[in-house]
């Protein structure tokens, strides 16, 4: 009974490069949430997706950030032209449905921008 999977666990990028973070939800879960955790801070909501649909992206920066959750495959959080301020832990969580409150978190991807 695999939980939420994220890869890579650690990602190092130089300024200006692209970062792609992947999240595979728990089996049977069709809703995915991305959160960002800056060092020594709490988790900030970024985007909420259902298969092939963005439900709410109000927490995601308008530029350089995008997210998708295709019909097949993992959810992808994409950060273009990364800057040092993007260095953070990015967690995804999944829930079975949109009405199902409980969210299960993945282990996170720690992005370091040099």
Partner 1 sequence: GENVEQHPSTLSVQEGDSAVIKCTYSDSASNYFPWYKQELGKRPQLIIDIRSNVGEKKDQRIAVTLNKTAKHFSLHITETQPEDSAVYFCAASLGGGAGNQFYFGTGTSLTVIP
Binding residues for partner 1, rule: CB under 8 A, are 31, 33, 35, 41-45, 48, 55-56, 58-59, 91, 93, 95, 98-108
Phi, psi of 45 (to 5 degrees): -65, 135
CB of 21 to partner 1, least distance (A): 14
CB of 45 to partner 1, least distance (A): 5
First-last CA distance in the chain: 36
Position of tokens 């970024």? 46
Q: With contact defined as beta carbons under 8 Å apart, do 86 and 111 qualify?
A: yes
Q: Which is nearer to partner 1, 82 or 94 (CB)?
A: 94
d(C-alpha 59, C-alpha 22), whole Å: 18
CB of 16 to partner 1, least distance (A): 28
Q: Which is nearer to partner 1, 18 or 56 (CB)?
A: 56
CB of 90 to partner 1, least distance (A): 12
Q: With contact defined as beta carbons under 8 Å apart, do 11 and 113 qualify?
A: no
Q: Which is nearer to partner 1, 44 or 78 (CB)?
A: 44
d(C-alpha 4, C-alpha 74), whole Å: 10
């Amino acid at each position: 009974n695999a939980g939420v999977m994220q890869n890579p666990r650690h990602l190092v990028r130089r300024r200006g490069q692209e970062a792609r973070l992947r999240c595979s939800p728990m089996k049977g879960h069709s809703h995915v949430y991305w959160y960002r955790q800056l060092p020594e801070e709490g988790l900030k909501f970024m985007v909420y997706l259902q298969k092939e649909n963005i439900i709410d992206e109000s927490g995601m920066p308008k530029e350089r950030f995008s997210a998708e959750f295709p019909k097949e495959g993992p959810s992808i959080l994409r950060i273009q032209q990364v800057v040092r301020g993007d260095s953070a832990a990015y967690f995804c969580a999944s829930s079975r449905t949109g009405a199902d409150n409980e969210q299960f978190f993945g282990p996170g991807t720690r992005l370091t921008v040099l």
